[in-house]
Structure formats: C-alpha cells, structure tokens
Amino acid sequence: MYVVDTNSWSVLRNFYPKAFKTFWQQLDALVAGGEVVSVREVQNELKRVSHSEHLDEWLDANKGLFSGPTEDELEFVAEIFKIDHFRQLVGRHQVLVGNPAADPFVIARAKILGGCVVTEEKLKPNAAQIPNVCDHFDIECVNLEGLIEAEGWEF
C-alpha cells in the first residue's frame, strides 16, 4: 500500500500518457487494486497548484483516492504533534491563511494502513519533514522512483 504525497503527484505532470503508456497502465492497476491511496488534504493542495491537463484529468477521474481521515488516523496525527519539533510540519503561514497541510495526514494514513509514504522530500538531519517523521515512527518512505523500483516496473 502506497500513500502518495502532493509533490509526488506533481511529478507525474511530466509523465505524458502517450510517452509513458505502460507507467499509467501499471499505476491504474495499483489504484484499481487499492494499493495506491492519498488523503483529502493532498487533493486540496493539488487544487492550489497548476498541473498539466492530463494529470488534472487523471486526478479528477480518480477522486476516490482522496478520502478524509479516520478516527485512528486523527489519533495518530495527535501522536505526531506530541513531539514539539514535528509541529513544524504545518507552517505558521498555512495556519494563518487556512491553506491545506497534508503531511501529517499522509503519514498517519500510511501508519494506520501499514503502508509506505511516497514523497519527493528527502531525509535531512533535524528537519521536520515527512521522511524524518516516518523514520521516527518506523514508517517506510520512498520517492516515486522508489515506488517504481519496489514494484519492479521497467520501461
């Protein structure tokens, strides 16, 4: 099970359907099998940024990937925020202007479902980023290339 962050979805704007036909077929198969999911806050973040027409159409056709948090996920978000340093996952500006903040919800969904977070963020010492939180809570975390490798896809 993969829980995909906003920045990894954004990378897919460069995966043109005619040029990467096999990629999209394999991704569709994972989605159909329930192996790729995301969270509602990621969908909200994606609405705020410009993508390609093909990605926007694909995301619109796959709205079911983006569900709201369960009670267990909300409880785990609270666990994340018990660590002062990880409260930085949600920026002050995001709070003040009401922008979506998907990171803690992506992590919580992966933890509760026993899945793997897919994000383009990198593990950085002392950072409050997805890979650092995943490392702390022993949650697998890869980038899009890591998902492709884990699935054994070749093009």
| pLDDT one-digit tens code per residue, 58-77 | 999 999 999 999 999 999 99
Spatial separation of the C-alpha atoms in residues 104 and 90, rounded to whole Å:
8
Alpha-carbon distances of 44 from 47, 69, 96, rounded to whole Å = 5, 13, 16
Spatial separation of the C-alpha atoms in residues 84 and 49, rounded to whole Å:
29
**Domain locations along the chain:** 2-151
**The pTM is what?**
0.91
Spatial separation of the C-alpha atoms in residues 38 and 105, rounded to whole Å:
9
With a cut of 70, say whether residue 91 has pLDDT above it: no
Class of domain 2-151: alpha beta
At 51 the pLDDT is 72
